[in-house]
Amino acid sequence: MNQPEPFGVYLHIPFCASKCDYCAFATWTDRAHLVEAYLDSLSLEISRAVDDGLALATTVFVGGGTPTLVPAERLAAIIGMIPVADGAEVTVECNPDDVTADMLRAFVDGGVNRVSIGVQSMSAHVLASLGRTHDRDNVARAVAAVRDSGLPSFNLDLIYGAAAESINDWIETVEEALALDPPHISAYGLTVEPGTALASQPDRHPDDDDQADKYEIVDDRLASAGLANYEVSNWARPGHESEHNFLYWRQQNYLGFGCAAHSHHDGRRWWNVRTPDRYVDMVARGESVEASSETLDDDARLFERRQLLLRTRDGIPSDSFTQATLELLDGLVEPHPDKPGYVVLTQGGRLMANEISMRFA
């Protein structure tokens, strides 16, 4: 039987109990009264797409926001509406405070086979400095519940570089995360996004040298524990890589449902209206919820493809650079160990991925 082409579905849940200081995503803390109407609209948008011949999804990702704030049975039923290929990866983002055995049972019944737990830090004072409100002690409880549920894979999501975070704080976070024996860890450097609480407080902005040191720490320790780096910010045991993220990095096609959700088809990208209020209203009226779009030309698509794949273990053809540039980049890129004619980033190169991509031929 032929495998379907890679195709992803993203569902956006925009509700949060509180706003993290660094968050620039389309999320709201004052729209709880819209939850039921929003889920109804999400169901209707998906059912219309199914009627129009929605392709089999090879990956599904439910993000936010905080998906675990909405009723698990409703969310699971909505996920179950999406036609999926055999072996499809189906992921839901989870706040550790919200995870319960009943919630996970509902997810599993709805076809979920992977969750991503938002840990960020194992230090209470670092969590407070990020505006995170979850209890760090609930991380271990959530992981235990995931294991008991029979879910075959999960991710722990970490952030490094908060002004309140010392090197020792970060080492303890990484070691405590590893002690839970996760098959996948994501670790992102804290970034300052316009319009966030963090952006308005320069004294709390991350330091580049501090973040570089912390990146080397997490990469070395995860590698020693058997989690291989497969993208700048992602490490996994074999077979536990995020297929949904690979779909983005390889410029494959995906369709987003919900307010502010993004979609891509063969170089055309579009995104839905940003607020849940407008989204609910437009779905009810049967209107398109597309807000705007862009279509990349061939040169822009090639540049983006190289830029994204350079960040991954796939690497890119060495002729993406001139020979002179390759010599200048010695120590930052190296020959791919398994793909002749390709190069990949070294650990030091991963710290400069964006700068290196500016040197493509």
Mark whether 84 and 197 lie in a shared domain.
Answer: yes
CATH no. for residue 198?
3.20.20.70
Task: Kindly state the percentage of the chain with pLDDT values over 90.
Answer: 91
Q: Work out how many domains the chain is built from and give that number.
A: 2
Mark whether 35 and 98 lie in a shared domain.
Answer: yes
Greater confidence (22 vs 48) lies with 48
Mark whether 338 and 225 lie in a shared domain.
Answer: no
Mark whether 238 and 304 lie in a shared domain.
Answer: no
The string of pLDDT tens digits covering residues 26-37 is 999 999 999 999
Q: How far apart are CA 223 and CA 237, in angstroms?
A: 10
Does some domain include residue 226? yes
Mark whether 93 and 213 lie in a shared domain.
Answer: yes
The string of pLDDT tens digits covering residues 73-118 is 999 999 999 999 999 999 999 999 999 999 999 999 999 999 999 9
DSSP-derived secondary structure letter, 275: S
Mark whether 206 and 324 lie in a shared domain.
Answer: no
Closest alpha carbon to 191 in 207, 180, 178: 207
DSSP-derived secondary structure letter, 203: G
Does some domain include residue 276? no
Mark whether 106 and 242 lie in a shared domain.
Answer: yes
Mark whether 16 and 142 lie in a shared domain.
Answer: yes
Mark whether 183 and 93 lie in a shared domain.
Answer: yes
Q: Which pLDDT does position 203 carry in this prediction?
A: 86
What is the C-alpha end-to-end distance of the chain, expressed in Å? 41
Does some domain include residue 158? yes
Residue 166's identity, in one-letter code, is S
Mark whether 323 and 233 lie in a shared domain.
Answer: no
102-to-145, 146, 282 alpha-carbon distances in Å: 10, 11, 33
Q: Is residue 58 scored above 70 in pLDDT? A: yes
The string of pLDDT tens digits covering residues 114-135 is 999 999 999 999 999 998 988 8
Q: Which pLDDT does position 1 carry in this prediction?
A: 52
Mark whether 171 and 310 lie in a shared domain.
Answer: no
Q: Which pLDDT does position 21 carry in this prediction?
A: 86
Mark whether 83 and 23 lie in a shared domain.
Answer: yes
Host domain of residue 195: 7-248
Average pLDDT over every residue of 277-282? 98
The string of pLDDT tens digits covering residues 154-206 is 999 999 999 999 999 999 999 999 999 999 999 999 999 998 988 889 989 99
The string of pLDDT tens digits covering residues 305-358 is 999 999 999 999 999 999 999 999 999 999 999 999 999 999 999 999 999 999
Residue pair 174/217 in contact (Cβ under 8 Å)? The answer is yes
Does some domain include residue 2? no
